[in-house]
């Protein structure tokens, strides 16, 4: 019952041989006779021996754990990414340690300390909204722990990144709105110090520009969650400054706007068209279903892992930071008009 776990020594003792021999036998070292190997393997099987990865990691001072730091777990996009991370990590014999910062800078810093303490092989991170300083990640790199950022990244960090083509995605969304007849398109965006905020904003501007639509600052807002969107949309409509299209930085915000529009007795898309960003599960559940941008979270997770594993293999020599950009797709549903 309540037992210690079986070790190599237990096997060695029971067989009357040394621990080294058992170790070598288990990994099919040529120095060991077939009979010994057979005996060792059989006993290991019988005792349900599992190598102690702690000891292993300690020995070669590198663990098979990938650390992941994200702002929030309860979020379709992030859980997609983690799912991609977990699947590929698992396929390569790595385990995944997660830590959510809950959008708190202090906790994010603390989590990097934990990663350091745990001697993880590498860290994948999407920074919190409050993070404007990246020293704690540099510390990881300085201690030999490679860091790969995904989605929420910043320009100033000279490290590996994998991001979605936010500019192009936003452009596609807004361009589509225009092509379906919208002329007064509002943008609900997130913090501009996050690249994703800035890039989506710029994509929005670029689409207007390309289509010769003047920029109207009274239609551009910092607004990135459900309740905010509801409130803002209601205010906007009642104020008389009503847009005929809304491009929101994510699906939740888009749906908040959508609900508010319907609540006021207006129709989507006839009166106001709406486009979100992410293509999460909810985008098919709203009424009407949401036109949005597919962000390929699962693939993003996988790519991040692949970049990390690559770095871990050829770990020496100076390394030139790489930025991978994932293309988005416009998913047309019924919250926008026909083209």
Partner DNA sequence: AACGTCATCGCAAACGTTTGCGAAATTCCC
Partner DNA sequence: GGGAATTTCGCAAACGTTTGCGATGACGTT
Find the binding residues for its own copies in span 33-52 (CB under 8 A): 48, 50-52
Confirm or reject binding of residue 33 to DNA (CB under 7 A): yes
Per-residue HEC secondary structure of 129-189 comes to CCCCCCHHHHHHHHCCCCEEEECCCCCCCCCEEEEECHHHHHHHHHHHHHHCCCCCEEEEE
Which of 217, 218, 204, 212 lies closest to 176, judged by CA? Answer: 204
Confirm or reject binding of residue 314 to its own copies (CB under 8 A): no
Find the binding residues for DNA in span 1-30 (CB under 7 A): 4-5, 7-9, 16-21, 23-24, 26-27, 30
State yes or no: cis peptide before 121, omega within 30 of 0. no
Which does residue 268 touch among its own copies, DNA, none (CB within 5 to 8 A, set by kind)? none
Q: Reading across the β-sheet that carries 185-189, which strands appear in turn?
A: 220-222, 185-189, 245-248, 273-275
Confirm or reject binding of residue 9 to its own copies (CB under 8 A): no
- Residue 80 CB coordination number (10 Å): 21
Q: Please, what is the minimum distance in Å from the beta carbon of residue 1 to DNA?
A: 17
Confirm or reject binding of residue 52 to DNA (CB under 7 A): yes
Cβ-contact 131, 111 below 8 angstroms: no
Cβ-contact 125, 85 below 8 angstroms: no
Which does residue 31 touch among DNA, its own copies, none (CB within 5 to 8 A, set by kind)? DNA
- Segment near DNA (CB under 7 A); pick from 59-67, 79-87, 99-107, 277-285: 59-67
Q: How far is CA 146 from CA 210, 241, 271, 296, in A?
A: 40, 49, 50, 23
Confirm or reject binding of residue 330 to DNA (CB under 7 A): no
Q: How far apart are CA 253 and CA 275, in angstroms?
A: 10
Q: Which is nearer to its own copies, 270 or 316 (CB)?
A: 316
User: What angle in degrees, to the nearest 10, is found between the helix axes of 34-47 and 8-15?
Assistant: 120
Q: Please, what is the minimum distance in Å from the beta carbon of residue 275 to its own copies?
A: 16
Q: How far apart are CA 295 and CA 298, in angstroms?
A: 9
- Segment near its own copies (CB under 8 A); pick from 23-31, 71-79, 209-217, 323-331: 71-79
Find the binding residues for DNA in span 61-80 (CB under 7 A): 61
136-127-106-253 Cα dihedral, nearest 10 degrees? 170
- Rule CB under 8 A: choose which of 15, 17, 109, 282 binds its own copies: 282
Per-residue HEC secondary structure of 19-81 comes to HHHHHHHHCCCCCCCHHHHHHHHHHHHHHCCCCCHHHHHHHCCCCCEEEEEECCCCCHHHHHH
Number of residues that bind its own copies (CB under 8 A): 60
Confirm or reject binding of residue 115 to DNA (CB under 7 A): no
Find the binding residues for its own copies in span 188-217 (CB under 8 A): none
- Segment near its own copies (CB under 8 A); pick from 22-30, 108-116, 158-166, 323-331: 108-116
**Residues near DNA (CB under 7 A):** 4-5, 7-9, 16-21, 23-24, 26-27, 30-36, 49, 51-52, 55-56, 58-61
**Residues near its own copies (CB under 8 A):** 1-5, 48, 50-55, 57-58, 61, 63, 65, 72-76, 79-80, 82-83, 86-87, 90, 95-100, 102, 107, 113-114, 116-119, 139, 141-144, 226, 252, 255, 259, 262, 281-282, 284-287, 316
């Amino acid at each position: 019952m309540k037992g210690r776990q079986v070790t190599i020594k237990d096997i060695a003792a029971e067989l009357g041989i040394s621990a080294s021999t058992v170790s070598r036998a288990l990994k099919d070292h040529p120095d060991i006779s077939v009979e010994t190997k057979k005996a060792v393997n059989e006993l290991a099987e019988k005792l349900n021996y599992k190598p102690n990865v702690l000891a292993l990691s300690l020995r070669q001072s590198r663990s098979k754990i990938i650390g992941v730091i994200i702002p929030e777990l309860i979020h379709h996009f992030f859980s997609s990414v983690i799912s991609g991370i977990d699947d590929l990590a698992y396929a390569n014999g790595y385990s995944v340690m997660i830590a959510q910062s809950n959008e708190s800078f202090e906790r994010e810093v603390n989590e990097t300390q934990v990663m350091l303490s745990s001697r993880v092989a590498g860290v994948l991170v999407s920074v919190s909204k409050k993070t404007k300083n990246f020293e704690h990640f540099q510390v990881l790199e300085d201690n030999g722990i490679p860091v790969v950022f995904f989605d929420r990244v910043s320009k100033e960090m000279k490290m590996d990144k994998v991001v979605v083509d936010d500019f192009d995605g936003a452009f596609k969304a807004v361009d589509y709105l225009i092509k379906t007849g919208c002329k007064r398109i509002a943008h609900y965006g997130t913090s501009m110090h996050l690249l994703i905020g800035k890039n989506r904003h710029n994509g929005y501007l670029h689409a207007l520009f390309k289509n010769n639509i003047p920029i109207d600052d009274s239609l551009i807002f910092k607004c990135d969650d459900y309740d905010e969107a509801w409130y803002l949309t209601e205010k906007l409509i009642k104020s008389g400054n009503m847009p005929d299209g809304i491009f929101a930085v994510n699906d939740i915000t888009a749906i908040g706007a959508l609900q508010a529009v319907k609540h006021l007795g207006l129709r989507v898309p006839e009166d106001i068209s709406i486009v979100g960003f992410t293509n999460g599960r909810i985008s098919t559940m709203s009424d009407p279903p949401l036109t949005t941008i597919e962000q390929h979270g699962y693939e993003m997770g996988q790519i991040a892992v692949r970049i990390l594993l690559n770095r871990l293999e050829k770990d020496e020599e100076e390394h030139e930071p790489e930025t991978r950009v994932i293309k988005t797709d416009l998913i047309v549903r019924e919250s926008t008009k026909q083209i």
